[in-house]
Amino acid sequence: MKVLKILLISILISACNSQNNDNEDVRPDSLFSIILNADSTYLKKENSENNEKITDNQEDICSDENLEFIKENISKNNYKFIENAIVKYSKIKTDKALAQFYSNVLDSVVEIICDAIWKYKDKNNTDDGELEQIWNDEIGNCMPFITIVFASTFVGTTAFKNYSNLLKKAKTTDGFSDNKFFEVMHTCEGQYPSEIYNYYLNDYDANYRHSLLGNGNHLAVIMMAIDADKESDLFDNELNGLVAYVLNIKEESVFGSSKEEVFKELTLISQIQDSTKFDLSNAEYLKNRLDTTSEKIHYNCANEDCSEYFN
């Protein structure tokens, strides 16, 4: 259903682009309603008989050898915190419990493991490729909620939240709020959130980036966030942060799409404002800026070489 939602949004933008370019507002009401109201049906709970059984026994989560590796590479206090996090995750049965784990525990887990990886690398003089494999092999079964990745030459090998596995976990819990939240996070970020790249919202070449505004992806994420927010307030702060991240576009000047396509998507985002508490004002800001600036703006970079306009 996620694919269908995005397809509908693409059709919506294409339909808007086929209209004449006078000053009247775009009116996507009927199709917008279809997309926005396709809520709890697009993510169904897996049959509990098909879900892997998770017990409260720590030894069923990961091996003694895995736990010993973790214990050897972090402080005593941090190990106790990680051990409690592993057990707590195994006991999660509801969307509320998963939301609390995500909001109150996971960031600290990522920070502790990141620090441990960097110290392990310095101590053992381990190259990044080997480092990634060692740590995933040692902690993957213990902590499926994170993944170890060589992110870039700037960041090195580090730990990230694993949205693929968090979404799988959400499908085993009671309640739908976690399903919808991790679905939109997985759509926007992929398996894990990169500190440098987002291939859903941008495209990259060897030495430049251009925004994908105009292809419907920004609108798709925002509408999925609105849909997730309708379910409950469990992920309020996180959804607000996600929408702000998606709309961190005020200074964009290089786009893969045409000017018409960019303006149509910005218009559609602005028209959603009355239906959500999220602040979407950056869309109107960017539209006005693009329309009035004397700065050179570059469009159609998906089909043209825009590498000279480094962004």
Q: Are residues 162 and 213 in the same domain?
A: no
Q: How many CB atoms lie within 10 A of CB 144?
A: 19
Calpha distance 130→120 (Å, rounded): 12
Per-residue pLDDT, 116: 97
Task: Report the pLDDT averaged over residues 113-124.
Answer: 96
Per-residue pLDDT, 31: 39
Task: Report the pLDDT averaged over residues 89-102.
Answer: 98
- Taking only the tens place, the pLDDT of each residue in 14-49 is 555 544 444 444 444 333 443 444 333 333 333 333
Burial of 167 (0-12, 13-18, 19+ CB in 10 A): buried
Task: Report the pLDDT averaged over residues 277-306.
Answer: 95
Domain-embedded: residue 144 = yes
Per-residue pLDDT, 27: 40
Q: Which of left, alpha, beta for 214 (phi over 0: left; psi -120 to 50: alpha)?
A: left
Per-residue pLDDT, 250: 96
Task: Report the pLDDT averaged over residues 139-149.
Answer: 96
Domain-embedded: residue 31 = no
Closest listed residue to residue 116, CA positions, set 80, 70, 162, 150: 70
Domain-embedded: residue 4 = no
Q: Are residues 218 and 304 in the same domain?
A: yes
Domain that includes residue 118, residue range: 62-179
DSSP 8-state code for residue 38: -
Q: Are residues 111 and 174 in the same domain?
A: yes
CB-CB contact of 183 with 2 (8 Å): yes
Per-residue pLDDT, 153: 74
Domain-embedded: residue 30 = no
DSSP 8-state code for residue 49: G
Q: Are residues 123 and 165 in the same domain?
A: yes
- Taking only the tens place, the pLDDT of each residue in 150-195 is 987 777 899 999 999 999 999 999 999 999 999 999 999 999 987 6
- Identify the band that residue 208 occupies on the pLDDT scale cut at 50, 70 and 90: confident
Q: Are residues 167 and 78 in the same domain?
A: yes
Q: Are residues 204 and 160 in the same domain?
A: no
Final residue of a domain: which of 148, 179, 210? 179
How many domains are there within the chain? 2
Final residue of a domain: which of 117, 148, 179? 179
Per-residue pLDDT, 155: 78
Task: Write out the two tokens for 73.
Answer: 């590479």
Q: Are residues 149 and 220 in the same domain?
A: no
Q: Dump the DSSP string for 92-155.
A: --BHHHHHHHHHHTHHHHHHHHHHHHHHHHHHHT--HHHHHHHHHHHHTTT-TTEEEEEEETTT
* Beta carbons within 8 Å of 73's beta carbon, 6+ residues apart: 116, 119, 120
Q: Are residues 67 and 173 in the same domain?
A: yes
Per-residue pLDDT, 223: 97
Per-residue pLDDT, 13: 54
pLDDT above 70 covers a percentage of the chain that reads 78
Q: Are residues 146 and 217 in the same domain?
A: no
Most confident stretch, 10-24, 53-67, 228-242: 228-242
Per-residue pLDDT, 29: 39
Final residue of a domain: which of 144, 179, 214? 179
Burial of 251 (0-12, 13-18, 19+ CB in 10 A): exposed
Per-residue pLDDT, 10: 54
Q: Look at residue 232 and tell me whether its pLDDT is greater than 60.
A: yes
Q: How many CB atoms lie within 10 A of CB 100?
A: 14
Q: Are residues 308 and 204 in the same domain?
A: yes
Domain-embedded: residue 34 = no
- Collapsing DSSP states into helix, strand and coil, what is residue 44? coil
Per-residue pLDDT, 41: 33
Q: Are residues 229 and 147 in the same domain?
A: no
- Identify the band that residue 289 occupies on the pLDDT scale cut at 50, 70 and 90: very high
- Collapsing DSSP states into helix, strand and coil, what is residue 156? strand
Chain mean pLDDT for the chain: 84
Domain-embedded: residue 9 = no
Domain-embedded: residue 51 = no
pLDDT greater at residue 3 or residue 303: 303
Domain-embedded: residue 8 = no
Per-residue pLDDT, 227: 96
* Beta carbons within 8 Å of 66's beta carbon, 6+ residues apart: 138, 139, 141, 142
Q: Are residues 235 and 274 in the same domain?
A: yes
Q: How far apart are the first and last CA of the chain?
A: 34
- Collapsing DSSP states into helix, strand and coil, what is residue 159? strand
pLDDT above 90 covers a percentage of the chain that reads 70
